[in-house]
Amino acid sequence: MLFPRRCPVTDVTDTAHLSAPIALRIAEVSALMRAKLGAGSGRLGAGGGTLAAALRRASHRLPRRIRGQARLLARAEEKARHPKLCLTLDAVALGRAADEVAGYLKSIDLADRRKGWWLGMLGGLAFNVLAFVTLLVVILRWRGFL
């Protein structure tokens, strides 16, 4: 081969269309997914550090479009490690997918999610207490105790 081709996905010097090589960006997305969604090697997580493992654990918490982009990155993760298969990857599309998934994950506010969870739980608890008291008053009145 007269001019050897460099892998556009893993080559650090070929960054005209990407801000970083795809392999590094996939690792960034995987780390963000573990940090924001609790997917991966947490207390109950699977020990694998791949995006596919994190995606299996947290895919139900992602919107459909973001989940599809993350699946695209997970399929490309294995190919990005192989020197010949990485030449078959579309670096521009993978870069856009990595940007979209990382942007969504960075926009997640963990404190707001926790607050929303607690408010939802307390709202449900308040409704149950109110329903119980109402039922208790109805039964006591019906039985003649009130």
φ, ψ (nearest 5 deg) of residue 49:
-105, 15
Residues 51 and 119 in one domain: no
Residues 125 and 96 in one domain: no
Quote the pLDDT of residue 98: 95
Quote the pLDDT of residue 135: 98
What is the average pLDDT across 135-139?
97
Would the pLDDT of 137 be above 50? yes
Residues 5 and 70 in one domain: yes
Residues 62 and 124 in one domain: no
Quote the pLDDT of residue 5: 54
Residues 84 and 138 in one domain: no
Q: How confident is the model at residue 20 (pLDDT cuts 50, 70, 90)?
A: low
pLDDT tens digits, one per residue of 75-115: 999 888 888 888 888 989 999 999 999 999 999 999 999 99
pLDDT tens digits, one per residue of 26-67: 989 999 998 888 876 554 444 457 899 889 988 888 999 999
Residues 20 and 41 in one domain: yes
Residues 23 and 37 in one domain: yes
Residues 40 and 85 in one domain: yes
Domain count along the chain: 2
Q: 3-state SS string over the chain? A: CCCCCCCCCCCCCCCCCCCCCHHHHHHHHHHHHHHHHCCCCCCCCCCCCCHHHHHHHHHHHCCHHHHHHHHHHHHHHHHHHCCCHHHHCCHHHHHHHHHHHHHHHHHCCHHHHHHHHHHHHHHHHHHHHHHHHHHHHHHHHHHCCC
Cβ contacts of 88 within 8 Å, gap of 6 or more = 79
Residues 40 and 3 in one domain: yes
Quote the pLDDT of residue 146: 85
Residues 53 and 69 in one domain: yes
Containing structural domain, residue 60: 1-108
Higher pLDDT, 85 or 18: 85
Residues 96 and 134 in one domain: no
Amino acid at 77: E
C-alpha–C-alpha distance, residues 7 and 91, integer Å: 9
Residues 116 and 65 in one domain: no
Whole-number Cα distances in Å, 26 to 63, 102, 118, 134: 18, 9, 32, 54
pTM, full prediction: 0.70
Higher pLDDT, 79 or 122: 122
Distance of CA 42 to the CA centre of its chain: 14
